[in-house]
Structures are given as C-alpha cells and as structure tokens.
Chains A and B, each alone.
Chain A
C-alpha cells in the first residue's frame, strides 16, 4: 500500500541511526515532513497517491546512503554534546572534591616523613588533569566549529570521539595514579574519612559516566561507513 512506502522508509532509516534520542527524533520528523511535502507536490502534478509517495521516497535517496550521512551528523552532534559536558563537569567535579575535602577534613595532614618527589609530581599532575582535560575539550569544540565545513563530517565525528576518550582517559589516569601512589606511600590515608570516601565514590561514578558517554561517541562515529 502507498502509505506504507513512507512509513517503511522512515522506520528503516530510524533503525539505522544511533545518537541522542531527541536528535534522531528531530531528523526523522523532518524526513517525514519532507516526504509528505514531496508527495503533495507530486499529487498536484497529477500523480496517483501511491505513485506520488513512491516517487517522493525515490527522490529522497537510497536509505543506506542517507542513513550514512545522517549518522555522521548525529555522531558529530553527540561528540559535541559530550565535549561540552566534559569541559564543564570535569573542572566542577575537581573543585567540588577539593572544597568538600577542605570542609570535611581540612588541609591534608603532613606525612610522617617528606613524601618522595615522584609522589608530589603525581599529586600535582592529578590536580591539573581535570583542567587540562577540560581545556582539551574546549579547544576541540572551538576547532570543531571552525572546521565544520572544511573537513568531512565522518572524520570530525571520529576526532570528537577520540578527544572525548582522551580527555576522560587523562582524568582517569590521574585518579588511578594518585590512589595507587597514596596506597604505596601511606595506605591508611585512603580510608581517612568516610565522607571523603563517599565523595571519591561520587567522583568515580561521574568519571565512569563520562567514560561511557565518550565510548558511545565512538560507537556513533564508527558505525558510519
């Protein structure tokens, strides 16, 4: 039946797309509108209802090719959204953790002996990690806007996903390194305060959540042929 041609096309297109639900819904709504508009135009030119719908779908393009182009845009949009989250959440998370620590346990108590220089280096690097990762995300966002028309969308999507993974990786590495280093120097510090242990768990939950977002970015970017 004629009606089914458009329904089938939109359903088939939707099944091939991955990204933010709202973005996918918007694209599919726009697709359906376009197909309905084209059908009306063909009806005015004297085609039958079935023929008009079939022609509208044909003119829209092969579903695989169109899905590929749509997916590249969805992947870039998802990457952009993730980079915005990273740019905002990472420094906020670090600041919240530091303020929480000052409120709950005050300044760090000195170690019994001066910690080794490598420990101080790791501590400093971890303090800087979220700022650096946030900066990387911000630079990627600005470059993404400038290069939007100059580079292939599929390439930009993959780059955005890679930058997101790199940014989360930097923070993850910083956190793992400081925990491992502290455990090595004085393991009792890791269990110094229950509220801080809870704050650390929240931090880890946020990092893991951001990591999953970054991984989904990559998944959205790599299903593009």
Chain B
C-alpha cells in the first residue's frame, strides 16, 4: 500500500496496535507489518514522530525501561487513547459502509 495513502490513517493504526498492550517502537512496526501481511509499506522512521504526536495529544504514554541490556521506550494507550480508538473505529466503519455502498456495487447501474 502506498505510504501517502497510509499517512492519514497512521494515528488510528498505531492506536489499534497498542490496544490492550504495551510495546516498544520496533515491536509496534513489526505488529503493523504482521497484521497487514507486509502490505503496510511506510518508512519505519515516520512511526516515532507519530507516537510523539499521540503522546502530546494524551492518547498514549511512554516509559523508558531496560530490556535485554538496551534502553527501550515503551508505549501504551491512555483512557483518552482508548476513547479515541473507539471513535476511530466507529468513523472507519461508517466510512467503509458508505464507500462500499458506492464502489462495491459491481456496476449495478450498467446492468439496469
């Protein structure tokens, strides 16, 4: 999938990836790639500023801890982040329902 198409949804994707768990940056990137079967092709470096933006908005919080001898910054959702994720999911369902109604019709008008 093209990076430009993903950029607008990156915040929502990150919130969804952190739902119910605490992950460090690269684990988030790996989880995103796994869930999408490798289709999410975004420069991995863009994830970190996006995480800071979510932190600034109060949707995630981060802590530094040492894991395997390396300092890791791990992220988790806040309550506001959970609410934001819920709102993102609702908006996405509504959006896909509407668009699917138009695009997913299989050319009905051409047949009528």
Within 8 A of A (CB), among B56-110: 56-59, 64, 70-73, 84
* Cross-chain contact B43 with A30 (CB below 8 angstroms): no
Bound-state Cα–Cα, A145 to B53, Å: 10
Cross-chain contact B58 with A145 (CB below 8 angstroms): yes
**Does more than half of chain A's interface fall in helix, strand or loop, or is it mixed?**
helix
Residues of B within 8 Å of A34, CB to CB, are 25-26, 29, 44-45, 48
In the complex, which residues of chain A have a beta carbon less than 8 angstroms from the beta carbon of B46? Answer: 61, 66, 69
The interface residues of chain B lying within 8 Å CB-to-CB of A69 are 45-46, 49
- Binary contact track A5-34/B, C-beta < 8 Å → 1, others 0: 000000000000000000000110111011
Given A61-B43, A148-B57, residue A29 in contact with residue B48 (CB < 8 A): no
Q: Which residues of A contact B56 (CB under 8 A)?
A: 73, 76-77, 80, 144-145, 148
User: Within A43-65, which residues are at the interface with B (CB < 8 Å)?
Assistant: 59-62, 65
- Which residues in B have their C-beta under 8 angstroms from that of A37? 26
Q: Which residues of A contact B72 (CB under 8 A)?
A: 33
Give Cα A145–Cα B30 distance, bound, in whole angstroms: 29
Category for how many chain B residues contact A = 20 to 34
Given A30-B73, A148-B57, verify A59-B25 contact (CB < 8 Å). Answer: no
Q: Would you call A38 an interface residue if the criterion is a C-beta within 8 Å of the partner chain's C-beta atoms?
A: yes
| Closest B residue to A70 using CB positions | B49
Is A175 interfacial (CB 8 A cutoff)? no
**Interface size, A (range):** 20 to 34
Q: Are A153 and B57 in contact (CB under 8 A)?
A: no
CA distance A29 to B30 in the complex (A): 19
If A60-B43, A145-B58 touch, whether A33 touches B71 (CB-CB below 8 Å) is: yes
Residues in A with CB closer than 8 Å to B59 are 149
CA distance A74 to B112 in the complex (A): 57
Given A33-B25, A145-B58, the answer on whether A26 and B45 have CB atoms closer than 8 Å is no
Q: Are A30 and B57 in contact (CB under 8 A)?
A: no
Q: Are A149 and B43 in contact (CB under 8 A)?
A: no
Q: Is A206 at the interface (CB under 8 A from chain B)?
A: no
Is the beta-carbon distance between A59 and B44 smaller than 8 angstroms?
yes
Q: Distance (Å) between the CB of A34 and the closest chain B CB?
A: 5
A47 to B53, CA, bound (A): 34
- Find chain B residues with CB under 8 A from A76 CB: 56
B45 contacts which of A36, A61, A72, A144 (Cβ < 8 Å)?
A61
Given contacts A26-B64, A31-B48, A34-B45, 8 further A-B contacts (CB under 8 A): A30-B73, A34-B25, A37-B26, A38-B26, A61-B45, A70-B45, A77-B56, A149-B59
